[in-house]
Amino acid sequence: MLRKVVRGFTLGALLVVSVAALAGATGGSAGVSFVTTQAFKSHDGATPPNDCPGIGVNERHYCLVVTTYNNLKKGGAVEVDLTLQNFDQSTLTNPEATLRWNTDANLTFLSADPANCSSSAGTITCSYPNIPGVGSASGGGTFNASSVKLYFSSAADSSTTVHFLGTGTAKESGNDNTGAANVETQTVPDAVMTFDDNTGAGANEDATVVLPRAPFNKPHLHTTLGNAFLDFTSGSPVFIAQFAASSGVQCLLGVSCTGLDLNTDLSGASGGTFSSGNQILWTADVVANNTNVVAVHTYDPVTITPSPPNTLTTPGTRFANCDGVVFTSFGTNPQPNLSTGQAYFARNATTTGGNTSFQVSATAKGSLINVTGSGSFSGSCIRIIGDKPASEVTKACTTTSPPAVPATPPVLCATKVDNSTVRVYLWDDANGHVGY
């Protein structure tokens, strides 16, 4: 099989698809982490203000925390979290939080989770159940909390930076001389959220919040490097999708390659999100003068159990078609004959009772490597896609249209853009890291 891969590469280009899938879900994480969160804590209305939770100050000891998500794309969905933290001895009663933002931000409120919020004229007000106190633990770092996630759509012409104003209120009975209820307020004066500017390194990364509603459940992410795209047909409960391209390529199993490296992070997706019924499509332009392209797809790690002297077993059937494996962790079960981060050839795969057993070697026909112990560790399937034309390749694509979603992924299609560029499409049912 590898001889065909090398011959194919000498004629065309290698699509190294490192598509890492999520452990425990058929989504995945290829290590993309440019979307970051920032938490902004409140203060009270005193002059000068006291930072929450105001331990030692004669007031309710609670905080409002506004968490923003930075480096998301404009023209997609964004998330802001509102969390009330009760550090007080007694229950925080009738708590509410309100969020406002600068009018030129061009955001539209979509929904809340849980759905306990209302919106009006650029203001969102959320109610919370009463938050229990921490009793004798008050005065320290212990707290009880309740959160709500807010989702917005952002226009393509939104301001690069959004400024949020958050206020939290709670009522306490009998805390003044009259015994009447008194409202105490915590304020976050400026919680900042910054969009990706789509210039410099930002031009080669794209991310959005995937929502279970059209059109936000079918994101179209793009990078300028390799004119690369990421699409999938539908989402699941909310998660953040990240996509990035770089010029480095991970070449595995003795295959030489240069070109484009795509990283896809769908690690927030719930288990079972991606499958043959909900596939992922990678598209990219690679430098080549013909369409003899193969892909190397490295899936996200799964649990692997060793059985001495040299057998490895993993749940499911994916490893039945693996060309190799890269171990990501041995946990508490050291393997003197194996190393993490190194690609090994997968050999002699068999599937029984929904599990796949295989062996590994350092070279395609080398000696089988012994394993030790009985615990479990983790590793990623490496699959070379396109070296089996009858089942993995289709010609049914054009430069403007990908092939139809295949009944049995993965399937690759390559078509010439011009005499030096080939557009490559790859359908598959699990996320990860893709290299060209």
CATH code (residue 152):
2.60.40.290
In this structure, how many other beta carbons lie within 10 angstroms of the beta carbon of residue 339?
11
In this structure, how many other beta carbons lie within 10 angstroms of the beta carbon of residue 160?
12
What percent of the chain stands above pLDDT 70? 87
- pLDDT-wise least confident of 8-17, 353-362, 390-399, 403-412: 8-17
Q: Which residues of 401-415 are buried (b: 16+ CB within 10 A; e: fewer)?
A: ebbeebeebbbbbbb
What confidence tier does 6 reach under pLDDT thresholds 50, 70, 90?
very low
Same domain, 25 and 140: no
Domain that holds residue 145: 36-194
> What pLDDT is recorded for position 182?
58
Average predicted confidence (pLDDT) for the chain = 86
Same domain, 244 and 374: yes
> What pLDDT is recorded for position 258?
58
Same domain, 226 and 344: yes
Which tokens is 14 given?
């290698």
Alpha carbon distance 252, 250 (integer Å): 6
- pLDDT-wise least confident of 24-28, 38-42, 234-238, 241-245: 24-28
> What pLDDT is recorded for position 273?
87
Same domain, 266 and 166: no
Q: Which residues of 13-51 are buried (b: 16+ CB within 10 A; e: fewer)?
A: bbbbbbbbbbbebbbbbbebebbeeeebbbbbeeeeebe
Same domain, 129 and 24: no
pLDDT in tens, 244-254: 988 866 667 87
Global confidence as pTM: 0.85
Last residue of a domain, one of 138, 160, 194: 194
Residue 299 near residue 426, CB atoms below 8 Å: no
Same domain, 320 and 250: yes
- DSSP secondary structure letter of residue 336: T
pLDDT in tens, 162-218: 999 999 999 764 444 344 445 789 999 999 999 998 888 789 999 999 999 888 989
Inter-CA distances, 229 with 206, 259, 382, 422, Å:
9, 16, 22, 14
371 or 183, which is more confident: 371
